[in-house]
Structure formats: structure tokens, C-alpha cells
A and B are shown apart, each in its own frame.
Chain A
Amino acid sequence: MTPLALLAPIFMAAAGAVLIPLLVHLVHKEKKEALAFPSLMFVRKTPYPFSSRQRIRDWLLFLARCAVITLVAFAFARPVFARRPAAAVAGEGGYEVVVLLDRSFSMQYSTRWTRAQEEARKAIDAIGPGDQLTVVAFDRRAAAVTEPGNVKAILKAGVDSLKPGDESTRLSPAIALATRMLSQSERPNRRLVVISDYQRTSWDLTDELSLPPRTEVVPIDVSGAVTDRSVRAVEVRRSPEGPARVQVSARITKLGAAERGVTARLEVGGRIIAQGTTDLPGDGGAVVSLGTVPVPDRPTPAKIVLEGDELRGDDTFHFVLTRAPVMPVLVVEHRDAPPERGVFLTRALEIGDAPGFDLVARRSDRVTASDLQGRRVVILADAGVPGGLGGAGLEAFVRSGGGLINVLGERTSERSWPANARALLPGNISAPADRLGQRGAVLGVVDQGHPALSVFSGARNGDLSAARFFRYRAIDTTEGVLARFDDGSAALTEHTIGKGRVLTWGSSFDGYWNDLPRQPVFLPFVHQLVRYAGAYREQRRSWSVGDALQPGDLAGVAATEGGRWSVIAPSGARQAVGGADAPPSLELRQAGIYEVRPSGAPNAEPRIVAANVDPAELDFATYDVLRLTNALTPAVTGATATAGDGLPTLAEREQKQSLWWYILAVAAIILAVEGLLARRASTNRLEPV
């Protein structure tokens, strides 16, 4: 059987133009075009002879005109005689069919998944005795659900066993797998059925996808209009009321018409502890504030929950509710320095939020080794190495992973670092360079690719070169220079001791040797130096499905020893991470709360990981399936068009058959006949009856 297929069926809509001759016919029939005449004194009424004969002639014309329009529309729709999709034809060999079934998160919407399964079953039903079909489910990755086979019950069972997950969509791996399967097949005919909602984010147009020659692509689009609410992000800020409380707000978006009075609940540990209401604009978003809530002592699973809609998975946003991270910092000032000299630095560190800085300031003659307890970073603000700390003690602090920032100024010189603390300096320190007469120096080179300065790499993230440096101490080193003054001398250096980092800044933070503290860049500059020196690693409150993370990175501010971990997924499934026979990292594949414990310690306090659907998966915009077809269908070449290499694709068949040409020729003939009929009818009408 050779059913007729249309390559551009949309043109058949033009067949509706057959209404035009119908209307013309009816209007013409009813219209009484009156001919103005001076007087009807000698004109006698002679009624039109509406005989059945004339009506039949008009109907012939009408039918001829309708036929012409329909044929032209049909020709533009590019008809082609196509074999039934996967039906084997005797003498031509069977089909190798691969059904790609999208099971990404977006397929959970409304009845998409049901329709997709139904389409997959139809494709299975369509295979013939000599065909072979494989069902491949895909989201970010692709995997064959069934072995290539011909038993429809098994294939359908494979389809029925699937259900959409929380992962995002990527078409490329699925196409690659299908290409491999089709290429390995010895059957001459190949067909790829892609059942998906064709999200725009699922296919990067730059992906080079190509199927084996003469593979027919059958795209089946199960998308449709989408109306959806979703929680996209949660923000937790430090509350002015103290570290035990935080301010929580959530960003909610709406796809579709505006909606009023949308309520969001904050649930912590299974209890509703706050809720807020907002109005959502159509195809827009709004932020709903959930107020200030108390923070548990330890990281606790929390979620923002909206009233359910047709896509429930994005109505809940999981996150970890913890206290705002704090980095303990010790600032040591010179014993002779006026108190106001340190105000810029201490004020700047008091503002920090992510993390906040637990600041302790000491005079160099008052600081003791005990002040180092619990500190992550020590800042020697024009103080040198205090005797109370001692060079060895400070070096040990750094060697064990602590951070040190040397700030040079008028009260410090090389002598401020005793011999047992010289390792804490990157090199010799010169006498102060006075650039006051030249209206100050500027930073000539800044390594914005370095993590300590990368915060300034953006186009509008601040300009360190705006600061003027009237005096500074050049650092004599060639290693680890992160910034230089305009005369080439090092301004900021980094070197490591053991696990710790030492940053040395060649000018002061007190506003006397430079105007840096008065520049907008001062605050992010200082914060970033401290974060880097303390090896601060931001603890994410939530992750996206598809992210991979090292469980060892979850513990706290600093990295911990890696090892084997036991993970309980949101579904309750257990898996091992790390070690010899387990994946090295935890890949998040479900939305919800993961619990991570050290392997062999089931009673240990779990580390919480909250995962949510990738925001890209919530972009429901689609692309034209024709683009995919065109991208996947290689151009016909002489080499691939040879017989016996399988049947040509639908487009190739259409090109070869060129049915449209014959249809247009028939339309032209009918048009000529119509002209003759019209002339004859007109002549007959003029003859007296």
C-alpha cells in the first residue's frame, strides 16, 4: 500500500479558497446589475429563462473552478507517494526503526506524556514482520529501553514502563545514539521517530547532527499551549534581628494569563512556618516575601510550595535553610596607629553578607596566640608580625590552612617580619616610594583572571585603576604577582605556605597612602581578598537537577577529606559516591532533598542537598520541527542516491516523483476547459430564448 503523504500540508489550507468561486457563483446569481436606460417606454419585460439547463452549465463551471483551486493547493502541499512508516515491503527489505521518546520534566505537563506514549505505541503497531524497532528514552542523556526487536508486546511494555523524570532535555545524545543504532543496522530502510515537546532549549542549533543517509525522520510534536506557575528562586538574607533569623523571599513566575492572590508557603522540616501572597502578571514574575523566620541550628530542608497546577514539579522549590555563613577574621593594627586609621577596613568587613565576617580587631601589642583560635583569616594592617603571635605561630596558622593578608604601610618594613616569619613575606620590601609629586600612581596591571580579583573582570564591576596611590612599598618578587603599580613594581602578591594562602598588599587600607578606601571598588576588593585568603567556598542552598557535586565540598567553609559517601535520593534510593567502584561525584537526577552521609556511618548527621528542576527546562518555547528534519536529513548526493542503498527519504521521493508538476498540468487543462465552458455559457446566455 502506498499512502499519499504531504510534505507541506499547511498549503492544503489554501484549498479553502474554493469558497471564493462558490461565493462568486452565488453572488453572481443573485446580483441584478441594472443597466440605466433613458426610458422603458418601448422596453418590455422579458424574464430570464432560469431553466435547469443553464443551472447545470453554471454548476459545471463552478466545479471546474473549485477543482482548479483545490489542485493548485494540493500541488503546493507537495504530495508524495510514501510507504507506510515502518511497513516492510516485499522485495525491499525491512525497516530499522528507532523511536526517541522524550521523558524530560516538561513532558509531565498536562497530557503530554500520555500522548507521547500513545504515539510510541502507534509507531510500534505500524511495524511490519520484517521490521525492527528500538525504543530510546531520552532527557539529558539517552538510553535504549528495549532491545531492538519486533515483538510489539515487549516494545509496548518498554514504553509503558517509562515515566517522565525531573531532568532537562538534550536532543543531541539521543540523536547520536539513534545514529549509531541506525548505522549498525543491516536493514536497507531506516526511520527515526522523535516524540517530544521540542523545547527550544533542548537543541543547540550549532550541534552537528546527522543521520545515516536515507533515514526518514518522523517528528511527532506533543507540545501545546502552556499555562504554568513556578518557583524559580529563593533568597535568604541575614536578618537585622540577629544571626538566628533570616529573611526569606521567593521569585515566582507565571506563564500564561495574569493571576491574582497566589499564595506561597514556606515549609521547614514539614511544618508551614510562613506564607505570603502576591499577584502574578501575565507571562511575568513577582517576588513574594515570606518574612523573617527563625533558623534552625543545623542545615534543615525547606521548601517553597505553591498551589498545584498542571505541572506540579515546579510548584515546589527545595532549599537548605541554614544560618548565613560567617568567616572569622582577626585584624591586627599597629600599636601606635591612631584608632581612626583602621576604620575603613573594619567598617568594610562589618558589611559583609555572603559570607558575613566575624571580626575581631586587636592592637599589635595586645594580640596573643589565643586570638588565632577559630579564625580563618588574619589581616596584619600595617602592623607587621606582632610579638604576641610570633612568627612561628603565625606561620603554623597559615600552614594549617589559615589565610594571611599583609598590608604594608608607613609603620611596617622588612624588620617588622622577624627572621622566623620571613616566609610570610613574598620577598624583600623596599622603602616607601613617594609618588605624590606625580599626582599619585595607579595600578597598571591587574590580573583579573585570578580568583582574588576576578570580581572586577566584568565590564561594569568596578575599576581598580581609578584609585590613586601616593605612597607604597614595592614588593621585590616575580612570583605570584596579582597586580602591579604603573611603574612595574608589585602591588599585590600571593604565595602559599602549606595549605594556607598569604596575600601581600603594598599600600595601606587607612586612606593615608592612597584614596582606595574612598573608591567604590574598596568594599568588593577587601571582601574578595578576605574570601580568597580564607579559601571561602560558597555553600549553595539549592542545586539544579543535572548538576554534579563532590560530597566532600558540602561540609563547610573549607574542603574536607574526600572519601566514600552514602547518598539517599529523594525517591529513597540509596547510592554510593566516591571510592573505587562508585561514581566520583554525586549527580543530581531528581528534584528534592538528597541526604549525604559518610559511608559506614548511618547515624551520622546527614549533609543536605536540595535539588530543583533546571530553569532551562521550564522554558516552554518550542522550535519548528521542520528545522530538525532539515538538519537531520542530509542533502541528496549522487553517491547516496544509488539504488539498493535503502529507500530515499520522503523529500527525496517527492523530488523524484514531482507529482506537483502533473497536478499543476491537470489544473491548467481544467482551467482551459473552464474558459471554453465559460465562453460557451456566456454566448448561450446572449442568445434569445
Chain B
Amino acid sequence: MAPPTETNAGQLPGARFIDPNILGRIGNLELVARWVVEGFISGLHRSPHLGFSTDFAEYRPYVPGDDIRHIDWRVYARTERYYLKEFEADTNTNFIVLMDTSASMGYKHERLSKLEYAKYLAACLTYFSHRQRDRVGFVSFNDDIQDLVPPSARHLQQVLHAIDRAKPEGKGALARPLSRIAEHQRRKGMYLLLSDLYEPVDAVVSALGALRDAGHDVMVMQILDSAERTFPFEDATTFRDVETGLRVPVIPGKLRKEYLAAMAAHTEAMGRRLGEHRVDYALVDTSQPLDQMLFEYLVRRERMRTVR
């Protein structure tokens, strides 16, 4: 495998970002996540570990050489045997990725589809969170839940596998799957929604309301292909909605201005309305480097912790 090339995106001074198209050649999600995250962390100047506590894991018999300071003397008092108390890694919170796998997420204008980008993003952030001792979970959905991995500190592999096998299909609708998730997930956690959000803003806000009302932290990343944002089409042709199959004759040159205005209004309204409901919102272009999104995530997580 040829060494990946890196690009200076320019948005964040000093950061070196990796072209998503390069990641598309790697294929192995865990490898991508490990590579992106470790590279990203090595560039940080402070520890990314943000844990607050330690959890007991198990006892094990003492063997010569062990630090006697870790011997649990209360157990010795009961059993007259030396046992060492071992602790699980520091655990912060539940981190659950909600990934839209409707057919529209399968769209790609060039090399990387929105779903593929979302997969890399989900894998990287899951790996990143796991590295921070968070419990990681995953839910894929279109108009209903398709796949679910409950949050756990040991579910990294399951999550990565679930991400990997997600396929774009069906119509997308947020309300039903998000309400079901809110019903079943009692423990507070952080939810990251990856979707193209092709729904009216009110419907999105309403759907996310269920999670927000349950006390979860929610962050939304609206993933769009650059073609959806710039509408670069030239030839007059018929557009087909990949979810509904609806066909509409379009002359792009004539429609472009109107389309871009509608799309800008939609994303602007989405950011504003979600902000009003204390939902973090970020617009992601599939041409953006992944590690840049890690920065976005880190900044927002810091902000959430501060606010909390």
C-alpha cells in the first residue's frame, strides 16, 4: 500500500490533514480509525484523556514482583490470601453513533460516498472515544433501526464491524428510530448523529427532541457531498430521487441558483434551530479531511464538558 499523502487544508494552522479519498483506498475501518486518530493525537500538545474516575474490574492472585501497595488487605483479612485489585480503564460516558443509512447516503459525485465518509468518521470518533475510556455504541437506521450495538467499553470491534456492514438502502426518516433509541437508552450519554438530514428542519428538531428531552448530549453532523452543495451539473437531464424514484427533468444551469439558495437556507435554518435546542450542529462536506472533523468533535466535546 502506498503511503497516504497528506494535505494542508488550511483551515487549522499547523494541522496536517488527510485526504478522504486516500482513506477510501485503505478499506479496513479499524486501520483507518487507528491511523487517523493516533496521528491526530500525536499532533496534540496536551493529553486528550479526559476521564474522571476509575472502575473496579477484577481481583487476581498476587505473584512475586507485584506492587504490594495494590494488595487488597480487606480481602486478605477475609481469606488470608493476597489478591491484587485491578481496575478497568477510566471510563467517562456512553458515546453512541447514530448513522443514517438511507439510500440517499449512498450518493457520491466523485470517489467517496456520503455513507463511506460517515463510516470513516464514525469509526474514527468511536476509536477516539474508546481510547478515552468511553463506552462506545452504534445504531444504524433509515426509517427504522437497522443495526444496534449497545454501548460498552468492550464493544469497539462490534461497533467497527457494524459500521463496516452498513449499506445504503431504503427511505430515510429520523423520527421513529430516534424515539425508539431514546426509549431504550436510559443511561445518559453522548449521541452523534451522522445524516444528510433531507427532512424539514422542524421534523429534524422534533425527532432529536426525544433524545434531548431524555437528557442526552446530542451532536449532529450533516454530511453532504460537495455536489449537493455546489450543484455542478451541466447537461440538461432527468434527476432521479434515489429514495423515492421520482424523476424530474432539470436544466441545471437554470436551477442552480435557486437550488443553492434553498440548500443554504436549509443548512442555516438547521444550525440555528438545533442550536436553539442545545444540539450541536456541524455541516460536513465529504471533501473535508477526517482529522479536521476530529478537531471539530474535540472542540465541541470540550465545550460540552465546560457547559456541563
A residues near B, CB below 8 A?
Answer: 32-49, 685-689
A570 to B237, CA, bound (A): 84
The one of A33, A38, A43, A44 that contacts B225, using a Cβ cutoff of 8 Å: A38
Q: When A36-B107, A36-B242 are in contact, do A48 and B248 touch as well, CB less than 8 Å?
A: no
**Residue contact B247 to A37, C-beta cutoff 8 Å:** no
The one of A41, A45, A47, A686 that contacts B198, using a Cβ cutoff of 8 Å: A41
Contacts of A42 in B (CB 8 A): 258-259, 262-263, 266
A42 to B250, CA, bound (A): 12
Name A686's closest neighbour in chain B (CB-CB).
B234
The one of A34, A38, A686 that contacts B236, using a Cβ cutoff of 8 Å: A686
**Minimum distance in angstroms from A489 CB to a CB of chain B:** 97
A687 to B254, CA, bound (A): 8
Which residues of B212-238 are within 8 A (CB) of A? 225, 228, 233-238
The one of A34, A45, A688 that contacts B240, using a Cβ cutoff of 8 Å: A34
**Residue contact A46 to B238, C-beta cutoff 8 Å:** no
Instruction: Knowing that A35-B240, A42-B258 touch, tell me 7 more A-B residue pairs with CB under 8 angstroms.
Output: A32-B238, A36-B107, A38-B107, A38-B114, A39-B198, A42-B263, A46-B255
**Minimum distance in angstroms from A72 CB to a CB of chain B:** 30
Q: Does chain A have a CB within 8 A of B59?
A: no
Contacts of A45 in B (CB 8 A): 248-250
**Minimum distance in angstroms from A37 CB to a CB of chain B:** 5
A45 to B259, CA, bound (A): 11
Q: Does chain A have a CB within 8 A of B241?
A: yes
Main secondary structure of the interface of B (DSSP, over half): mixed
**Residue contact A46 to B247, C-beta cutoff 8 Å:** no
**Residue contact B249 to A39, C-beta cutoff 8 Å:** no
**Residue contact A37 to B237, C-beta cutoff 8 Å:** no
How many B residues have CB within 8 A of the partner chain?
34
**Residue contact B251 to A48, C-beta cutoff 8 Å:** yes
**Residue contact B240 to A685, C-beta cutoff 8 Å:** no
**Residue contact A47 to B240, C-beta cutoff 8 Å:** no
Contacts of B250 in A (CB 8 A): 43-46
Contacts of A37 in B (CB 8 A): 107, 239-242
Name B227's closest neighbour in chain A (CB-CB).
A37
Q: Pick 19 A–B contacts, CB within 8 A, sort by A.
A: A35-B237, A36-B107, A38-B107, A38-B198, A38-B228, A38-B241, A39-B198, A39-B242, A40-B248, A43-B259, A44-B258, A44-B259, A45-B248, A46-B249, A46-B254, A46-B255, A48-B249, A49-B251, A689-B251
Contacts of A34 in B (CB 8 A): 237-240, 247
What 6 pairs across the A-B complex have the smallest Cβ distances? Answer: A38-B104, A688-B254, A688-B253, A34-B240, A39-B198, A42-B262
Q: Does chain A have a CB within 8 A of B116?
A: no
The one of A33, A40, A41 that contacts B237, using a Cβ cutoff of 8 Å: A33
Contacts of A43 in B (CB 8 A): 239, 248, 250, 255, 259
**Minimum distance in angstroms from A28 CB to a CB of chain B:** 12
Contacts of B243 in A (CB 8 A): 38-39
Q: Does chain A have a CB within 8 A of B291?
A: no
Contacts of A686 in B (CB 8 A): 234-236, 253
Name A39's closest neighbour in chain B (CB-CB).
B198
Contacts of B225 in A (CB 8 A): 38
A139 to B240, CA, bound (A): 76
A32 to B250, CA, bound (A): 11
**Residue contact B253 to A44, C-beta cutoff 8 Å:** no
Name B198's closest neighbour in chain A (CB-CB).
A39
A36 to B113, CA, bound (A): 13
A334 to B246, CA, bound (A): 118
**Residue contact A689 to B254, C-beta cutoff 8 Å:** yes
A34 to B245, CA, bound (A): 10
Name B258's closest neighbour in chain A (CB-CB).
A44
**Minimum distance in angstroms from A504 CB to a CB of chain B:** 102
A32 to B198, CA, bound (A): 25
A67 to B123, CA, bound (A): 60
A48 to B252, CA, bound (A): 11
The one of A35, A41, A688, A689 that contacts B238, using a Cβ cutoff of 8 Å: A35
A688 to B256, CA, bound (A): 10
A36 to B177, CA, bound (A): 26
Name A47's closest neighbour in chain B (CB-CB).
B249
Q: Does chain A have a CB within 8 A of B196?
A: yes
**Minimum distance in angstroms from B109 CB to a CB of chain A:** 10
Residue among B114, B198, B251 with the highest chain A CB neighbour number at 10 A: B251
Contacts of A685 in B (CB 8 A): 235-236
Name B107's closest neighbour in chain A (CB-CB).
A38
A685 to B251, CA, bound (A): 9
Residue among A38, A685, A689 with the highest chain B CB neighbour number at 10 A: A38
A43 to B249, CA, bound (A): 10
Contacts of A49 in B (CB 8 A): 251
**Residue contact B246 to A46, C-beta cutoff 8 Å:** no
**Minimum distance in angstroms from A141 CB to a CB of chain B:** 75
**Minimum distance in angstroms from B110 CB to a CB of chain A:** 14
Contacts of B259 in A (CB 8 A): 42-44
The one of A33, A35, A39, A47 that contacts B104, using a Cβ cutoff of 8 Å: A39
Residue among A39, A46, A687, A688 with the highest chain B CB neighbour number at 10 A: A39
Name A42's closest neighbour in chain B (CB-CB).
B262
A47 to B239, CA, bound (A): 11
**Residue contact A40 to B228, C-beta cutoff 8 Å:** no
A13 to B247, CA, bound (A): 42
**Minimum distance in angstroms from B262 CB to a CB of chain A:** 4
Contacts of B251 in A (CB 8 A): 46, 48-49, 688-689
Contacts of B254 in A (CB 8 A): 46, 688-689
A63 to B234, CA, bound (A): 26
Contacts of A689 in B (CB 8 A): 251, 254
**Residue contact A40 to B246, C-beta cutoff 8 Å:** yes
**Minimum distance in angstroms from A206 CB to a CB of chain B:** 66
Mask: chain B, 93-130; 1 = CB below 8 Å from A; 0 = not: 00000000000110100000010000000000000000
**Residue contact B239 to A35, C-beta cutoff 8 Å:** yes
A44 to B259, CA, bound (A): 8
**Minimum distance in angstroms from B108 CB to a CB of chain A:** 10
**Minimum distance in angstroms from B300 CB to a CB of chain A:** 25
A47 to B237, CA, bound (A): 9
**Minimum distance in angstroms from A69 CB to a CB of chain B:** 26
Contacts of B258 in A (CB 8 A): 42, 44
A408 to B244, CA, bound (A): 113
A50 to B109, CA, bound (A): 28
**Residue contact A40 to B253, C-beta cutoff 8 Å:** no
Contacts of B242 in A (CB 8 A): 36-39
**Minimum distance in angstroms from B263 CB to a CB of chain A:** 5
Contacts of A41 in B (CB 8 A): 198, 262, 266
**Minimum distance in angstroms from B249 CB to a CB of chain A:** 5
**Minimum distance in angstroms from A163 CB to a CB of chain B:** 72
**Minimum distance in angstroms from A49 CB to a CB of chain B:** 8
Contacts of B228 in A (CB 8 A): 38
A41 to B228, CA, bound (A): 11
**Minimum distance in angstroms from A289 CB to a CB of chain B:** 77
A656 to B244, CA, bound (A): 67
Contacts of B246 in A (CB 8 A): 40
Contacts of B196 in A (CB 8 A): 38-39
A45 to B248, CA, bound (A): 5
Name B234's closest neighbour in chain A (CB-CB).
A686
Contacts of B241 in A (CB 8 A): 37-40
**Residue contact B247 to A32, C-beta cutoff 8 Å:** yes
**Minimum distance in angstroms from B46 CB to a CB of chain A:** 39
**Minimum distance in angstroms from B283 CB to a CB of chain A:** 15
A15 to B250, CA, bound (A): 38
**Minimum distance in angstroms from A312 CB to a CB of chain B:** 70
**Minimum distance in angstroms from A33 CB to a CB of chain B:** 6
Name B259's closest neighbour in chain A (CB-CB).
A42
**Minimum distance in angstroms from A420 CB to a CB of chain B:** 119
Name B105's closest neighbour in chain A (CB-CB).
A38
**Residue contact B255 to A44, C-beta cutoff 8 Å:** yes
**Minimum distance in angstroms from B228 CB to a CB of chain A:** 6
Residue among A32, A46, A686 with the highest chain B CB neighbour number at 10 A: A46
A34 to B235, CA, bound (A): 11
A689 to B249, CA, bound (A): 14
A42 to B104, CA, bound (A): 14
